[in-house]
Structure 1
Amino acid sequence: MPCNADVIIIGGGLAGLVAGIHLSQKKFRVILVEKQAYPHHKVCGEYVSNEVLPYLEQLGVSVDELGPSRINRFQLSTVSGKSVESKLPLGGFGVSRYRLDDFLYQKALLSGVRVLQTQAEAVQFEDNQFTVTTSGNETYTANLVIGAYGKRSLLDKQLNRAFMHQASPWLGVKAHYRADIPNDQVSLHNFEGGYCGLSQVEEGIVNACYLAHYSSFKQYKNVAEFQERVLRKNPFLNRFFASATPLFDKPLVISQLSFAKKQPVENHVLMSGDTAGLIHPLCGNGMAMAIHSAKILAELIEMHYQPHSFDWVTIDRATLEKQYTLAWTHEFNKRLTAGRALQYVLQSPFATSLVMKGVQLTPGILPLIIKQTHGNPLVAA
């Protein structure tokens, strides 16, 4: 039976859009399924490491057109207000998902990606072919499916992914503000039960995004009270929220964030971005990881198969899946492990105090820690 596409991508965030642009430019027939209309906001730190810039430029994506902030400094503070600062080894840029995702969406359309504005309800793999059913009960077939639908989805439950059986106590909150903060700095501020990142995106807008443990949050009525009673105990956050002007009617909230280990391939679906593994936001590198994982996957697909002429009789599907799993593990396991370790440290006031003292005594330690969650500049294979 002829397929509607060579590749169906479920999810139109960074990983899905970048993979779609890459593959479509290489003449693959790509269908991308995204449930939300562009542009839209997402809960995200909105800081991107410069490691992805060479690859984006090779795809014809120039982030300069978005007017991003240029970030080269990092600040960390404790609940009590002790702080340390450091240069960022590679530096990065700040840009909202509202603007970046829409920009990539337009690039994807120009590259030939067919975008379906609908929800993927089911994915079936049978007779060496995928069938994706959407909310309108329409079906589309392809030889490959990429899962790039984000941190958590009903598709994860359908695929019986292991992390869905574990309760997750984390929630994320994000909003934009007008505020006076350094435009070249990303900062991370501890509070009881979590931490909040502050950085500028385009047009001087400040993104405030924080991760909170539900046990800390649940005793308060709402986000506003939690910010007032908990976040503002940190002097840096107190000064920020005292003077900042909100640009959203209300903050965006996402719950049940899972940092448990995920498999890069599930029932032959190739997972990318947060769908394959979610790094702790304190590392500030989730957006770069999503773009990098899309690059790895797209290049492996390009290496193994020719568009429009997949020969599944002579080419073993398992080879692609094995190589992608190995490549994902090699590139990201160290980062994810480092992220979990940093998360553990920052949850403990005593451990955080020890780290702060160590960094103050030996300032060169902090850039070395940062490097553990970042990669090298990406170029095409």
Structure 2
Amino acid sequence: MNRKNSKIDVLIIGGGLAGLSSAIHLAKHEYSVLVIEKNKYPKHKVCGEYISNEVLPYLNYLDIDVFKLGAKKIDKFQLSTTKSKLISTILPLGGFGISRFCLDEALARKAMDNNVEIIQDTVEDVQFDNDQFTVITKNQKHFKSKMVIGAYGKRSNIDIKLKRQFIKNKSPYLAVKMHVKGDFPEDLVALHNFEGGYCGVSKVENDSINLCYIANFKVFKTYKNIEEFQHKVVFKNTYLKNIFSRTTPVFEHPLTISQISFEDKKPLENHILMCGDTAALIHPLCGNGMSMAIRSAQIASALIIKFFNSEISTREALEKQYLREWNTAFKSRLKTGHMMANLFDQPKLSEILMKGLQWFPGVLPYIIKRTHGKLMQIE
């Protein structure tokens, strides 16, 4: 299909969790949707790969059964400090583990089954004029669309073009991810802290264990390589040392990503509705970024449908409503995430916090609820 000469109701930049969920949602309502994604499917991504059950009703609405895909049901949580003090609790809502390799591919296939067109290209610029977007790609393709959703991830050249504030500042964080094989409870997600960072551990499909950690880059670069950093820093946490030493790597090399920014972003830029990590990035310490991406897609898609159906009369009203609903859903989560990250970034304070959590075990489930939301309502 020649998209230059055909109608595009919604153009989505980025084909990850948020972009593909929006694409399926809008296509189910018979809108013409184009997704521009720079990578091929399937592809592993640096990600914690734990998702709160809050999004299950929405994924079912999108006709995605994660458990048929091999997702592991998770209802237990463990947290340890840099000095290997451990606390355990039950996850109030529960969740599941599934890889981005698996879930992104399933969403992409479902999107195409619903007549969504996905092209592999990189968006270089987005212009808005006369109530219409023009999207320009690296391959010099030009697309026009009534609506644009930004779901391209943590950072991109588009952020520079849009002059987004966060992109001007360097971020001190590096993330590393690997899959391994070995013994680990499939109903457990663990978060183990080490000096300058923390590592999430959970099982995904095919009995692989996802290990994903984030570290302060200034600390990391004082070591020769990932292996030395792990042995001299990460393994000071005895739980992490045991997991790494008793498992076998699946990947030939770990995946890494740098310049991760937890600074405030705006969910709306130049009339583009931002979703997922493009709108905000919650600290992995809270382990629920994937759920937030899917939830933000549902909010944006439902409002766009109302706009097209004239239930929302103007673009300005749509944008104001999106900001309201986005803030209601996520502002408190992000605030809690920043607070917890700041606490665990200070070893002495985190040890005191852990003692408090052991004395008052009901506090940890309360904190988890503050970052995990409730079961999504489908409109």
Q: 2:65 aligns with which of 42, 56, 62?
A: 62
TM-score, reference length from structure 2: 0.97
Q: 1:267 aligns with which of 265, 270, 273?
A: 270
2:237 partner letter: N
Ranges in structure 1 where 5+ consecutive residues have no aligned partner: none
Find the residue that maps to 1:299 and give its secondary structure. Answer: helix
2:357 partner letter: V
Pair 1:106 & 2:115 matched: no
Q: 1:182 aligns with which of 180, 185, 188?
A: 185
Within 1, Cα distance between the matches of 2:34 and 2:227? 40
- Alpha carbons 1:10, 1:16 under 8 Å: kept: yes
* Aligned residue in 2 for 1:369: 367
Kindly state the Cα deviation for residue 65 of structure 1 after the two structures are TM-superposed: 1.5
Kindly state the Cα deviation for residue 332 of structure 1 after the two structures are TM-superposed: 0.3
* Aligned residue in 1 for 2:211: 208
Pair 1:318 & 2:316 matched: yes
- Alpha carbons 2:307, 2:314 under 8 Å: kept: no
- Alpha carbons 1:3, 1:141 under 8 Å: kept: no
Pair 1:249 & 2:247 matched: no
Kindly state the Cα deviation for residue 3 of structure 1 after the two structures are TM-superposed: 6.2
Within 2, Cα distance between the matches of 1:47 and 1:315? 38
* Aligned residue in 2 for 1:165: 168
1:319 partner letter: A
Pair 1:124 & 2:127 matched: yes
Pair 1:49 & 2:47 matched: no
Kindly state the Cα deviation for residue 297 of structure 1 after the two structures are TM-superposed: 0.5
Root mean square deviation, CA, Å? 1.5
Kindly state the Cα deviation for residue 315 of structure 1 after the two structures are TM-superposed: 3.9
Within 2, Cα distance between the matches of 1:184 and 1:315? 46
Kindly state the Cα deviation for residue 275 of structure 1 after the two structures are TM-superposed: 0.3
CA deviation map 1:287-310 (0-9, x unaligned): 00000000000000111114xxx8
* Aligned residue in 2 for 1:233: 236
- Alpha carbons 1:146, 1:269 under 8 Å: kept: yes
Q: How does 1:137-152 map to 2 (within 5 A)?
A: 137-152=140-155
Within 2, Cα distance between the matches of 1:64 and 1:200? 13
* Aligned residue in 2 for 1:78: 81
Within 2, Cα distance between the matches of 1:3 and 1:269? 21
* Aligned residue in 2 for 1:155: 158
Kindly state the Cα deviation for residue 279 of structure 1 after the two structures are TM-superposed: 0.4
Find the residue that maps to 1:254 and give its secondary structure. Answer: strand
Within 2, Cα distance between the matches of 1:65 and 1:117? 28
- Alpha carbons 1:3, 1:142 under 8 Å: kept: no
2:52 partner letter: S
Find the residue that maps to 2:219 and give its secondary structure. Answer: helix
- Alpha carbons 1:24, 1:30 under 8 Å: kept: yes
Within 2, Cα distance between the matches of 1:336 and 1:156? 20
Within 2, Cα distance between the matches of 1:238 and 1:220? 18
Find the residue that maps to 2:92 and give its secondary structure. Answer: strand
Within 1, Cα distance between the matches of 2:140 and 2:5? 19
CA deviation map 1:306-333 (0-9, x unaligned): 4xxx89xx94211111110111111100
Deviates more, 1:164-173 or 1:145-154: 164-173
Q: How does 1:282-297 map to 2 (within 5 A)?
A: 282-297=285-300
Within 2, Cα distance between the matches of 1:315 and 1:76? 48
Kindly state the Cα deviation for residue 98 of structure 1 after the two structures are TM-superposed: 0.2
Kindly state the Cα deviation for residue 249 of structure 1 after the two structures are TM-superposed: 1.1
* Aligned residue in 2 for 1:341: 339
Find the residue that maps to 2:158 and give its secondary structure. Answer: helix
- Alpha carbons 2:307, 2:315 under 8 Å: kept: no
Ranges in structure 2 where 5+ consecutive residues have no aligned partner: none
Find the residue that maps to 1:177 and give its secondary structure. Answer: strand
Within 2, Cα distance between the matches of 1:218 and 1:166? 19
Query: Moved runs in structure 1, 4+ residues, more than 4 A?
Result: none
Kindly state the Cα deviation for residue 2 of structure 1 after the two structures are TM-superposed: 7.4
- Alpha carbons 1:3, 1:143 under 8 Å: kept: no
Kindly state the Cα deviation for residue 215 of structure 1 after the two structures are TM-superposed: 1.7
Within 2, Cα distance between the matches of 1:369 and 1:142? 41
* Aligned residue in 2 for 1:34: 37
Kindly state the Cα deviation for residue 379 of structure 1 after the two structures are TM-superposed: 2.0
Within 2, Cα distance between the matches of 1:39 and 1:49? 22
Kindly state the Cα deviation for residue 242 of structure 1 after the two structures are TM-superposed: 1.0
CA deviation map 1:97-135 (0-9, x unaligned): 000000000000011111111111111112211111112
CA deviation map 1:10-59 (0-9, x unaligned): 00000000000000000110000001000000000000000000111122
Within 2, Cα distance between the matches of 1:327 and 1:2? 34
- Evaluate the alpha carbon distance shift between residue 299 and residue 379 of structure 1 in structure 2; reply closer, same or farther with a 3 A threshold: same
Find the residue that maps to 1:41 and give its secondary structure. Answer: coil
- Alpha carbons 1:19, 1:294 under 8 Å: kept: yes
Within 2, Cα distance between the matches of 1:261 and 1:326? 16
Kindly state the Cα deviation for residue 191 of structure 1 after the two structures are TM-superposed: 0.5
Pair 1:115 & 2:118 matched: yes
Aligned length: 376
TM-score, reference length from structure 1: 0.96
* Aligned residue in 1 for 2:98: 95
1:187 partner letter: A
Kindly state the Cα deviation for residue 4 of structure 1 after the two structures are TM-superposed: 3.3
2:375 partner letter: P
1:181 partner letter: F
Within 1, Cα distance between the matches of 2:239 and 2:361? 21
